[in-house]
Structure 1
Amino acid sequence: MALALSLGATTVPQPAAAQDRAAVERQFRDWLEQSIWPKARAQGVSRATFEAAFRGVSLNWKLPDLVPPGTRPSTPKQQRQAEFGSPGKYFNRGSVDGATVIGRQMAGRHARALSRTAAATGVPGRIILAIWGRESGYGRVKIPYNAFEVLGTKGFMSSRADYFAGELVAALRIAQAGHVRANGMKSSWAGALGQPQFMPSSFLEHAADGNGDGRADIWNSEADTIASIGRYLQRHGWVAGRDWGFEVEVPASVSCTLEGPDQGRPIAQWAAMGITRVSGKPFPEHELRGEGYLLMPAGRSGPAFVVTPNFYVLKDYNMSDLYALFVGHVGDRIQYGSGDFTGRWGKVGGLYRSDVASMQRALEKMGHDVGGADGLPGFKTRRSIGRWQEAQGRPATCFPEARMKASLGG
């Protein structure tokens, strides 16, 4: 993944007295020397780079998901997050319009870099622009954190310490290679770097030199940012010549339980079942032969789509149906001037994650595969709800609703 996503519940450290924090800071310095330095040295990092990276760095106690030594994480019993609220909130007017308007400006300003990257990777410029806009507002969003402070803190005392420790070593390798000065490496609170918001390991695998200066500077170079996003998608399987997907009308005769990337079929078959594009246009001839997948992120209470394998490449960038849908949608608006989705988001969501998890556990007891009782209504949960509804003789809506709580263990 390009981004570090904390899909679990946020953990909150127990309060630590000032003297305890001082002791933990000393443990942190020992950990850097005894654990991180040997690994970094083995990866070719010099002592000078190591010392420059951690000069003046201390633990950032304000970061989420911290588990200081000697404490246990406390997990809130109930949480709300966008992914299991109303899906429509993800497509708020300001975010969509802002990414579109500035994206069109950037399309003209960086036409040469976009064309060059599209030719090299097969990834359309509009898709690169939409990701760039979503991740960092085309470089306009401030990236405020010292990457070594964030990754060091999380590598030393977070709920995913091993993962972040590995990313910390990767960040040291980036500094050693001279892509950016150690004291100039800025990240998000999760350790994601630069305008494309790559984790350090993703940088090492996919960052590209788009302007020919010998460095991959995703902090300051728009050309490098564009080339890096394109290379990331190409290496994750982007199929040149195919679209990401199409908004469609799904007739009542087609069950919403057919959703999911494991239930694909040629788009021609979806069309034969009565699924049509909302634009009234036929599916492109070359797409009819390709695999397509039904996507209904709000079940029957929202827009529906037939998506291609490229949609799931977008999900590799950020593991969210709504993220991938946002990118495809904004990309289309940038290039084609298309408007809002035709389908309207219904009044769904508003449930606590713990409510959804209770429903998932109840469905699991009935033998349904919901993809894990994590409180996130992914496609396996959505279609399991639909299958349960159909077994009850009810119309399938394929989305968790408050009225289901009594029947599904809420």
Structure 2
Amino acid sequence: MFGGRHFKISNAFRAALGWGRVLLAAGAFAASSAAAQADAGFDRFIADFWPTAQAGGVTAQTYRHVFNGMEPDNDTVRLMNRQSEFVKPIWEYLDTAVSETRVNRGRELLVEYADVLRTIEARYGVDREAVLAIWGMETNYGSFMGRHNVIQALATLAYAAPRRQEFWRQELVKALLIVQGGHVRFEDMEGSWAGAMGHTQFMPTSWKAYSADYNGDGRRDIWTSIPDALASTALYLQKHGWQTGRTWGYEIKVPANFDFTIADDDTEMTLEQWTRLGVRRANGAAFPRPSDKAILVMPAGAAGPKFLMLRNFYVIKRYNNATAYALAVGHLADRIIGGGPLAGDWSREYLPLKRSEVAELQSYLNQKGFHVGTVDGRIGPATRRGIRAYQQSRGLVPDGYASVVLLAKIKLDS
């Protein structure tokens, strides 16, 4: 038993570190031949990876301690190979991400950690509610930080993942150095199946670059020290350009004759310029800084809520490059400090497309001369341009949004 798990001893690994020959009793493991071969391959990977780890600064003592008898993480393999066809609509995502329970807990923690958050805000210039919101989004305020040993998960990915091998190997070396530096015990290094760690889910390389020691004890402990974890998140946001005292964005309304071709996730104008085009805040208030620059974003197309996104929204996306995630963080931050629900209604019949349906839509667009390039099931700039061109040709609102309604329409046209 090691760290609460049963392990198989690896002859190849022992030999690689000069431990000498170890004899294993025949029949010691009741496993299928396929599983045995997979384990043997993992053992060879661990043995072969030692020179890379050593070159990165990992000692033999650390390597032996961590990898003694380790097996692949089968759950990581399962999740790595899962190709999810279902795309959760953004309104379902927000219902969970910004639930009343999470909002209320965030408000309690805003009071409970008031002194810590005040210090962090002064030290890093990042608004406390944003830090709290990321904590809430990543691990539900520390209630679930993952059940995987990070090094075991990363070793499994470095060994078995079909893509990004160099990335996983780099993360594995950094994770080993974190343990070696005494910041966390190997046995306590828990996180996600993909290696994200601690209260606010840092990858090892991000931990190295941005983690913070809040109390000056020499450790940057994002696993058991909430102040260290929150300070690390604030430092990350600061380093990526957070603008102190400024919001992430505004929910807006647009006039009936609005030109939706400029809602392309790229066109940036000042709030004053957007105002001249008839854009107004959903709550009727004036924009506080008309010179701030913003991009118009419609996460569910023209039928759903619309937003002018400012720089801080894109800083949040550096933490997780998903529009739904960044919107949830911003909205949760607002709710924590007393803001209300979104004003606009999601038009829930405009369901997003599954990947196979996106590929079907791309095929139809190409057939009709609205060229989107390779049919790959992914919505990129070329596909959005093709959708807009098709919508304009049929007198539809050219919002570039791929929905089941649009797919049904193009099928009827065929």
Please tell me the TM-score bracket, short chain as reference: 0.7 to 0.9
- Give yes or no for the alignment of 1:358 onto 2:360: yes
- Paired residue total: 379
Would the aligned equivalents of 1:261 and 1:293 in 2 still touch at CA under 8 Å?
Answer: yes
1:54 maps to 67
Q: Does residue 26 of structure 2 align to residue 23 of structure 1?
A: no
Give the corresponding residue for 1:339.
340
Question: Could you give the per-residue CA deviations for residues 296-339 of structure 1, whole angstroms, max 9, x where no partner exists?
Answer: 0011121100010111111111111010000000100101x122
Q: Which has the higher contact order (CA 8 A, sep 6+)?
A: 1
Q: Which amino acid aligns with 1:135?
A: E
Partner in structure 2 of residue 297 of structure 1:
299
Which secondary structure state, in structure 1, belongs to the residue aligned with residue 395 of structure 2?
coil
CA separation of 1:66/1:271 partners in 2, compared to 1, >3 Å: closer, same or farther? closer
Q: Find the structure with the greater CA-based Rg.
A: 2
Stretch of structure 1 that moved more, 394-403 or 340-349: 394-403
Q: Counterpart of 2:16?
A: none
Alignment check: 8 A CA contact 2:97 2:137 kept: no
2:249 is aligned to: 245
Instruction: Name which of structure 1's ranges 291-300 and 87-96 shifts more when overlaid on structure 2.
Output: 87-96
Q: Secondary structure at the match of 1:247?
A: strand
| Structure 1 residues 163 and 118, CA gap change in structure 2 (3 angstroms) | same
Unaligned runs of 5+ in 2: 1-30
Q: Which amino acid aligns with 1:388?
A: Y
Higher mean C-alpha displacement, 394-403 vs 127-136: 394-403
SS in 2 for 1:293: strand
Aligned mates of 1:65, 1:259 — CA distance in 2: 39
Describe the SS at the equivalent of 1:63.
helix
Residues 212-249 of structure 1 show CA distances to partners (whole Å, capped at 9, x for unaligned) of 21111101001001101001111122122321000000
2:179 to 157, 169, 175: 175
Match of 1:217 in 2: 221
Decide whether the 8 Å contact of 1:247 with 1:277 is kept in 2. yes
Distance 1:37 1:79 in 2: 38
Is it true that 1:39 corresponds to 2:52 in the alignment?
yes
Match of 1:80 in 2: 86
1:125 has 2:131 as partner? no
Q: How far apart are the structure 1 equivalents of 2:122 and 2:305?
A: 32
Q: Which moved more, 1:357-366 or 1:134-143?
A: 357-366
Aligned to 1:3: none
What's the offset of the Cα at 1:138? 0.8
Over the aligned positions, Cα root-mean-square deviation in angstroms equals 2.5
Give the fraction of aligned pairs with identical amino acids, expressed as a percent.
37
Aligned 8 A contact 1:49 1:182 in 2: no
Structure 1, unaligned runs of 5 or more: 1-16, 68-72
Q: CA deviation at 1:375?
A: 3.7
**TM-score where L is the length of structure 2:** 0.84
1:264 aligns with 2:268: yes
Q: 141, 146, 150: which is aligned to 2:149? A: 146
From the superposition, tell whether residues 136 and 201 of structure 1 become closer, same or farther in structure 2 (CA, over 3 Å): same
**Mapping 1:81-100, distance limit 5 Å:** 81-82=87-88, 86-92=89-95, 95-100=98-103
Q: CA deviation at 1:32?
A: 1.4
Q: Which stretches of structure 1, 4 residues or more, deviate above 4 A after TM superposition?
A: 64-67, 361-370, 376-384, 406-410
Pair 1:386 & 2:392 matched:
no
**DSSP 3-state at the match of 1:248:** strand
